[in-house]
Amino acid sequence: MTSTVSSQLSQPVILGFDPGRYKCGLAIVGLDRSLCYHEVILAEKAIAHIESLRLTYPISLIVMGDQTGSKLWKQELSERLKEAPNVILVDERYSSLEARDRYWEMFPPKGLNRIVPQSIRTIPRPIDDIVAILLIERYLNKLTEVEI
């Protein structure tokens, strides 16, 4: 699924990357937290797709989940991307559960599905892209945390 949200790109953006064995989630978010793009793609096409996104978006950083094959993916990104931006690993524990809730916020149910409890609704598509959005948010939240 492809989704694009129009945004003024006068600022650098962050690419969120949720790597998986068969599919990967991608998201692009501005430093002002505006969502510019999100999509789930086949893992075998991830590097080429990221390269094409870099032609459109001024990606300054890649934020990636730290679980499924992250070390291999990080190495692959640094080797295969031309002038690769820094890759930051972010704790992705419970991100899939959080993404389920976020999915329903972003795409509220319609019709009779509105009365079905959220806990038993079936999400009609992969949500790896939403996980990628959450990884960026976790990274930005960590930057803005104030320790007392």
Question: What is the model's pLDDT at position 9?
Answer: 59
Domain ranges in the chain? 2-144
CA 142 vs CA 12, 88, 95, 108, 147: distances in Å? 18, 12, 15, 28, 11
Question: What is the model's pLDDT at position 100?
Answer: 93
Question: What is the model's pLDDT at position 80?
Answer: 85
3-state helix, strand, coil in the chain (%, to 5): 40, 25, 35
Nearest residue to 24 (alpha-carbon basis) of 135, 125, 127: 127
Question: What is the model's pLDDT at position 10?
Answer: 65
pLDDT tens, position by position, for the chain (148 residues)? 444 444 445 689 999 999 988 999 999 999 899 999 999 999 999 999 999 999 999 999 999 988 878 888 888 888 888 887 899 999 999 999 999 999 999 999 988 888 888 888 889 999 999 999 999 999 999 888 766 5
Question: What is the model's pLDDT at position 111?
Answer: 86
Question: What is the model's pLDDT at position 121?
Answer: 86
Question: What is the model's pLDDT at position 69?
Answer: 81
Question: What is the model's pLDDT at position 4?
Answer: 46
Question: What is the model's pLDDT at position 146?
Answer: 63
Structure confidence by residue, pLDDT tens digits, 112-141: 888 888 888 889 999 999 999 999 999 999
Query: What's the CATH number for 2-144?
Result: 3.30.420.140
Length of the chain: 148
